[in-house]
Structure 1
Amino acid sequence: MFARRSAGMILVLGAALLLSAQLEAADFTFFLGGVFPESIEHNDVETPLDASPVYGFRLSNSIVPMFAMEHTLGFSSDYLFPGSGSAVSEAKGFVYNSNLVLNLPFRPFSAVPYLTAGAGLLHQYGSSDLPVGTRFAYNYGGGLKFPRIAGPLGLRFDLRGYSAGVFANNLNLLEFSGGLYLSLGGF
C-alpha cells in the first residue's frame, strides 16, 4: 500500500513539474566554438589531432515541457587536422547529430540549464589520407541557455563530449561552444 501511494505521489509531482515548466515552441542558435580531440591510431601509428574551430547552427523544437529534439549541423575548415609529421595537407569536416534535450526545471539567474544526448555522424574530407573519415558518433553534454535577453534574442553555452568509432579505434572529442540564441514562439 505504501509503495503504491509513494509511486502515485511521485507520478503526480512529476506531472506537475512537467506542466509548470515554460515551453519555448522552438529555438535556433548560431554557434562558434572549438573541438579538442584525443589522439587516434591511424596506419598502426598513434596520431595526435589538432584542436579545430567549429561553427554552425542548432535547431530545437519542444516535444512537451522540459523535453525537446535538437538537430545540429557544424562545420570546420580545419577539422581534426593530424599533428606534425603527417602528409595530410587539407582536412575539412562537418558534424550532424540529433539529440534529446532535457531542460531542467530550476532557473538560476534567468538561465535554463539543460542536459543533452544523441547520435549522428562526423565526416572529415580534404586530402586522400585522412585519419578520421566518416564515423558514427554519439554525444552527451549540457549547458546554459539565457533566453530573451533582448526581445527574442539570447545567449547559449554548450559543453559536449563526442565518441566516434564505437567498436574499434575510438575517437573522443570535447566541444566548447557559445552562440546567439533566437526564441521562436512559446506558449
Structure 2
Amino acid sequence: MTTTHAPGRNTKRQAIIETAERLFADYGYDATSTARIAHEAGVPSGLVFYHFATKTDLLLAIVRERPTPGEVLLTAARGRSVHRRLRAVVTVMAEELERNRSARIIVFREAQARPEIAARAAELFAEAATTVAEVLSGAEDVVADPARVRTAAELIVSSVFLDIIALGRSDTAAKRHEDMIEMLEESLTVPPPH
C-alpha cells in the first residue's frame, strides 16, 4: 500500500527544517522555540510536531538530511595523480562545508551537549575519511600502504574542517593547504626506505 501525501506536505516540512537550521545556527538550539520556527516558516505550530515528534528529532533531521560526505567527496576523484586528487578533495570538502555553514555551526555547537549529534558528527567524520582514503587510493602513483593512506585522509578531513570553521573561505582552501598537500603527496608516493 502506498501512501499519498497532500500537496505541499514535503515543501512545508522542508520549510520547517530550513527555518530551524537558520534559527538554531543564529540563536542556538535551546534559545529557539518551536513556536518561533513555525512562525518564521509560515506554518501552524502543530505542523512542526506533525513532522517531528520532538524538537530533538527536528535537530537530528537537520544533521541527517544533508548529502553525505561520501556523495560529495567522490566527485573529487578527478585526475590520476595523488597531487590532483589531494587538491580536489581539499577544494570540494571546503566548498561543501562553506555551503552548509548553518548545519556545520549546529553540529559544532550542539555536539558538546547532545550525544546523538556527537555520534552523527563521528559518523560523518568516519565516512569522509573513508571516502577520501578511497579517492587517494585510486591515484595511479600511490605506493603507500592502506594505513598510511587512511592517516592522510583523516589529516585532510580534520585540517579542512577546522580551517573552514575558523576562516570559512573555501575559495582559498587549496592554497592555504598547499604545504600539507605537498607533504602528503610525498608521503603517499615515495616508497619508504627498507
TM range (shorter): under 0.3
Question: Higher helix proportion, which one?
Answer: 2
- Structure with the higher fraction of residues in strand conformation: 1
TM-score by length of 2: 0.24
TM-score by length of 1: 0.25
